[in-house]
Amino acid sequence: MTGLHQHVGNWPCKTVERKQGTCRLADHVLECVDLPGTYSLTAHSAEEVIARDYVLQEKPDVVVVIVDASNIERNFYLVAQMLELTDRVVVALNMMDLAGVKGYRIFPHKLEEALGVPVIPMVARRAQGCQELLQAIVEVGTGRRATSPRPIQYGRAQPTLAALREILAGEQPGGYPTGWIALKMLEGDEEVERLEQRALPEETRDRLHRLLLEHEHGPAMVADARYAWIEDVLRAGMARPAGSVITFTDRIDHIVTHRFLGLPILLGIFVAVFWLTFKVSTPLSHMLDAGFAGLGEWIGDALAGGPAWLTSLLAEGVIPGVGGVLTFLPIILVFFLFLGVLEDSGYMARAAFVMDRIMHAMGLHGKAFLSLLVAYGCNVPGIMATRILETERDRLLAILVNPLIPCAARIGVAAFFVGAFFPPALRTPVMASLYALSLALVILAGFLLRRTVLPGEESPFMMELPLYRSPSLRNLAMFTGWRLLAFMKKAGTVILAISVLVWLLSSFPAGADLPQTYLGRLGFWLEPAGKLLGLDWRMSVALVTGFAAKETSLATLGVLYHAEGDSLAQALRHGITPLVALVFVVVQLLYVPCLATVAVMRSETNSWKWTALGVIYPLALAAGLGLLVFEAGTALGFG
């Protein structure tokens, strides 16, 4: 609707992301606010509280409830709760094509008559129904289209609700409507109970509690009433198939979610993704690497008569630094393209389901695996994705293990080294082994954290498995394009700045040999620790600069290993052994998270203690594992 022209921030006093944008229809400008996705408006999570508070307090002109037509009954529970808050609702009945696959026949006009609010059929991924939705929003928002929602009959709960409203007469805690507060009290809503403790006199609270104690089955009665209302509405506007329909999704899921076959299939799919990523991207990366090496040499020749410092800055600082990072642009492009195919097709939800049993070993469940999958792109949104977990303990545990997941930047650095030092036949097995190592360490770290600093009960796991569908080219382009743009932006800002800084520190004092420069002196202090792992001072300095952003470790190496006419891969092969390259890759995959990740860890946990733990233990783990790899490799004669 907005063409993704949006402002992104956080809800007041919350870390939940807020997206806001505008779109036009004729003379009307619509300001669109994307409320956090939720199935319910009962206060089990920050997202649910934010969604309902926005509707109640901000009183938007129109609320659009997006309903998955292929899972309509479950989605209509949110419609029922939203109509308890406001009558200015438009229902967008999305994924109508998938509903047909399930054998559902949905009649939007009959549903609209039964609900009393507009119902717009849509297939949003094909842009079908978008204009009709905008038109309905404008008509309801301007009052040209009246809404008259079908009321929910609460049956046995009705007398209790009337009694609660009578006790609350004259009171309006938090500015919420009295009838809605009474309904939430009967449901046992924790947020409303806390509000009641703060805002109501003690005598009123006592009367409310005595009444509620007499109706301990209140939540069940309210839920039953809503489901009865949903059944009546759907009976009027929908026809289900007489018998069960075995869909294409059912046939595939019988195999890919199989108790024994599911995990091998999952591993096979990701190995195939790695293999294809290398197969397609490696030639392009080599071309870019050689191209930037030639560009640096050309600039050096072209500016030979100019200022020496400018020639050195461009030919030995900017081009090797930024160019070294841009060489794994094809790797990121291809990897995210395949990852987007898996996500848009619906397989990622199956991956979470298959991983559920393994995640239980660390005290989490399959839903946590989704946040870890997001972290393969970037640890920052991976940590933010832990908000989908229900309990504070689960969120903390998922946040603490998240930095062990190698993000796209670390994947790119690893892929560069693996491509430079290993023959084609070994590249996919080495990368797959590195991924398996990171996942094994995530499980081990979670297991230990759960039994030491974060003990507690495991929370139940329930998630929806969407129908399979062919990936949308538009979605794939956006999924991959935004990540490439973010990477290019970082290459033009953070990585460029670090490259210039590394060049400055490696060029002064003027005329000094590299080991006597400011950067060389820093390397001198780091060298004893690095030597334990077989790393020289340049590799150690690259790990330090990688704290700003993981890609900058490669930029630093591009500056420090700069060789006239050689590509970075060639220069590294002349300077270090394959064993040292492998140690460097293992350490940089695991050691301290980048600065942005540390910042978001602090924001999400609101604790320096947990943030410090999330920084220190990966560093110790990386050092220990790097030492193990170096000593084992040396003992086996690979040094």
Q: What is the DSSP letter of 492?
A: H
Question: The pTM is what?
Answer: 0.69
Helix, strand, coil percentages in the chain from 3-state DSSP, rounded to 5: 70, 5, 25
Residues 6+ apart with CB under 8 A from 252: 468
Residues 6+ apart with CB under 8 A from 416: 285, 327, 328, 331, 554, 569
At 13 the pLDDT is 47
Rg (CA), the chain: 29
Phi-psi label, residue 120: left if phi above 0, alpha if psi -120 to 50, beta otherwise = beta
| Residues in a beta bridge with 31 | 22
Strand ranges in 387-514 using DSSP code E only, listed in sequence order: none
Cα(97)–Cα(592) distance, integer angstroms: 46
Taking CB atoms within 8 Å and a gap of at least 24, the contacts of 45-53 are: 45/387, 45/388, 45/390, 46/14, 46/16, 46/387, 47/16, 47/387, 49/191, 50/11, 50/14, 50/16, 52/81, 52/85
> At CA 585, angle to CA 580 and CA 590, rounded to 5?
130
> At CA 428, angle to CA 427 and CA 433, rounded to 5?
100
- Class of the 6-142 domain? alpha beta
At 139 the pLDDT is 95
Q: Torsion over CA of 7, 12, 13 and 14, rounded to 10 degrees?
A: -50
Pairing of strands 119-121, 238-239: unpaired
Nearest to 604 by CA among 379, 384, 377, 380: 384
CA distances from 324 to 4, 303, 540 (A): 31, 21, 17
| Residues in a beta bridge with 18 | 9
Cα(620)–Cα(590) distance, integer angstroms: 9
At 6 the pLDDT is 55
* Residues with pLDDT less than 50, the chain: 10, 12-13, 15
Cα(75)–Cα(625) distance, integer angstroms: 47
Quick check: helix, strand or coil at residue 327?
coil
For the beta sheet containing 63-68, the strands, ordered from the edge strand earlier in sequence to the opposite edge, are 63-68, 89-94, 119-121
| CATH 1.10.287.1770 boundaries in the chain | 155-216
Q: Which residue has the tokens 């991983």?
A: 355
pLDDT tens per residue across span 228-261 = 999 999 999 999 887 777 788 889 999 999 989 9
Q: What is the CATH T-level fold of the domain 155-216, as seen in this structure?
A: Helix Hairpins (1.10.287)
| CATH 3.40.50.300 boundaries in the chain | 6-142
Contact assessment for residue 463 and residue 366, using Cβ atoms and an 8 Å cutoff: yes
Count how many Cα atoms sit within 13 Å of the Cα of residue 287 in the half-sphere of its side chain. Answer: 8
- 462: which 2 tokens? 């329930």
> At CA 72, angle to CA 250 and CA 93, rounded to 5?
115
Contact assessment for residue 406 and residue 376, using Cβ atoms and an 8 Å cutoff: yes
At 461 the pLDDT is 62
Contact assessment for residue 69 and residue 99, using Cβ atoms and an 8 Å cutoff: yes
Q: List b or e across 273-309, with b for residues whose CB sees 16 or more CB atoms inside 10 angstroms.
A: bbeebbebbbebbbebbbebbeebeebbeebeeeeee
